[in-house]
Structure 1
Amino acid sequence: MRTVVITGGTRGIGGGLARQLLDRGDRVVAIGSGAAGGASLRAEAARRGTADRLAFHRVDLGSVARTVALAEELRARYEVVDALVLCAGRYRTGRAETVEGFEQTFALYVLNRFLLPELLREPLARADRPVILNLCGTGGRAGRINWDDLQLRHRYGGFRATMQGARANDLLGVSFAARHAGSGIRYVLYNPLFVDTGLSEPFRQPTRALVRVLARLFAARVDQAVPPLLDLLADPPDRPLSAFRRSTPVDLGRREFDAETAVRLHRVLTGLLPGPAV
């Protein structure tokens, strides 16, 4: 029985993936920020007869301290983690900071996805075919790293923050794969593109209504987005790093995956963390 840890694992793509993995006989460790989402997932697992293989942890993954504490708990509880799926994310139209002083999109979409793979590397490396599956905006050309203003204290925009996170996640994959090439852990960057996961909620009217209409017309359903992820978890690519836009491979020779820039980002993120988090 495999053990799969899923951040953002109660709703949207993460929740759909958790349900399917439970139905297939895996153990799922779902991480979410809301009690209601966890309760709903537990209730559904009970109805399906899979509750004995579900663990839910309510954690604010925008917090570095709570992410570190979660990783410590998971390392103590699970000797082997077969897969880590990074789904947690939240679009924010306005700028806000965490209690630790980080811009919230940066904290959740960048720092958290930098920390968890590093902190769970040992139990992952003990698995037969370990994989990190990072659902992000890979394969796009929009966005850039704002090296002089990573926290976007000036000229914040929700799209700008999200696209900075997408470019950062490309580099996180490059950095992890290069530094841990001998671990056997496969790192997969995966862009599901437009999926109807409630993207309209952060917006005010009339934008919210417009996004809802666009989602109904053009977005894939969650149940359509999950099967390719199940395939990647069951049979990850043999390469240390791979990237996909849905089923289409992304060329890792593009400038978004520059190795020297990945080293720079790793150095900067390590310097932002309080103490030896990684």
Structure 2
Amino acid sequence: MKSKVAVITGGTSGIGKATVEKLVTFGTTVVLLARDTQKAEIVKKEILKTFPNGKIEIFAGDLTDLKSIKAASEEIKARHPKIDILINNAGGVYSEFERTADGFELGFQVNHLAHFLLTQLLLENLLKSEESRVINLSSEAHRMGKFSIGNLNAEKKFSTWKQYGATKLMNILFTKALANKYAEKGLLAFAVHPGVVKSGFGANNTGFLKYFNKMPFLITPEKGAETSVYLATQTKEKLSNGGYYKRCQISYSSLESQDVVSQDQLWDISMKMIKDYL
């Protein structure tokens, strides 16, 4: 893992931060794409106190603003002509319907579309690596999600958990499409269920979601990061391209997530949505 470059979103807290902490111990240069760069700098200093030889870089990028993702990607590509790993880690659940300035439902953009754009923008640099990997954080919640082209943005009806489940299903559909399209060029793509983790999940909301992190059954961020780190560091011969992983083992995702037609439909409509940023 030495000399490798890994780009990660959501690396300033929770699972993402724990992932960064582990990757730097392998000698990996970790690139943080962060909305709050001041917070990222604090996290960087904190990690480097424990791992003084770690290499962490920070670039400003906000998943709720596709223009900022475009700008950050250009800066990262100029800095790193070859990228080995992309971990699309950030995500959120939202109790109320809200549109971003780009016109998309907030959860759809943060959990899927912005990461889809980021991946497309970094793809050329990723393919220059001999073992490029894209790791998408999904969830067992994908099983309660439905893929509906006419309701990707919750245009017809919004439900907190159904929309969250739908976006987590999209993470797996995207992963499998990515593997199918680029496996011949050496790209590996994986979807991950990290477990139910005590992190910042849901803290941006009111009601039950605000207190989600006080539930007694939650696992630590370090435990939640284990599968992402495993997929980033394990030899490719031991991995299943396009697979859905939990507890560092291949698992079965829902039948809907394995539908090739849905995978291609999501890919095509997502490409149309981001065409102005490519």
Q: Same fold (TM over 0.5)?
A: yes
- Asked if residue 227 in structure 1 is aligned to residue 222 in structure 2, the reply is no
Runs of 4+ in 1 over 6 A off after TM superposition: none
Q: Residues 150, 27 of structure 1: CA spacing in aligned structure 2 closer, same or farther, 3 A cutoff? A: same
Cα offset, 1:200, TM superposition = 4.5
On the 8 A contact 2:135/2:190 being kept in 1, the answer is: yes
In the other structure, the counterpart of 1:259 is 260
- 2:173 pairs, out of 164, 171, 174, with 171
Structure 2 unaligned blocks of 5 or more: none
Are 1:182 and 2:173 matched, yes or no?
Answer: no
Contact 1:139 1:244 in 2 (8 A): no
CA shift, 1:206, in A, is: 5.9
**Aligned mates of 2:76, 2:232 — CA distance in 1:** 20
Partner of 1:126: 128
Preserved contact between residue 88 and residue 115 of structure 2 (Cα < 8 Å): yes
257 and 25 in structure 1: CA distance in 2 versus 1, 3 angstrom threshold: same
Residue 268 of structure 1: aligned partner:
269
Tell me the equivalent position of 2:137: 135
Segments of 5+ residues of structure 1 without an aligned counterpart are none
Which residue in 2 is equivalent to 1:37?
A: 39
Cα 1:271–1:142 shift into 2, 3 Å: same
Secondary structure, aligned partner of 1:241: coil
Shift of 1:51: 7.0
Question: Within 1, Cα distance between the matches of 2:116 and 2:232?
Answer: 20
Alpha-carbon deviations, 1:73-129, whole Å to 9, x = none? 211110211110111112211111111111111111111221222221122122232
Task: Output the amino acid matched with 1:169.
Answer: N
Native 8 Å contact 1:139 1:243 kept in 2: no
**Distance in 2 between the 1:117 and 1:207 partners?**
29
- How many residues were matched structurally? 274
Superposed CA deviations along residues 116-149 of structure 1, whole A, max 9, x for unmatched, are: 2222112212223221111112584211123212
Letter in 2 for 1:78: H
Query: Which residue does 1:96 correspond to in 2?
Result: 98
SS of the counterpart of 1:18?
A: helix
Q: In 2, are the aligned partners of 1:186 and 1:240 still within 8 Å (CA)?
A: yes
Q: What's the Cα RMSD here?
A: 2.2
The aligned counterpart of 2:243 is 242
TM-score, normalising length: structure 2: 0.90
Q: Which stretch shows the higher mean deviation, 97-106 or 233-242? A: 233-242
Which amino acid in the other structure matches residue 232 of structure 2?
Answer: L
Secondary structure of 2:226's match? helix
Aligned partner letter, 2:84: D
2:5 corresponds to which of 3, 15, 28: 3
Alignment correspondent of 1:107: 109
How far did 1:253 drift? 8.5
Q: Structure 1: how far apart are the matches of 2:142 and 2:158?
A: 20
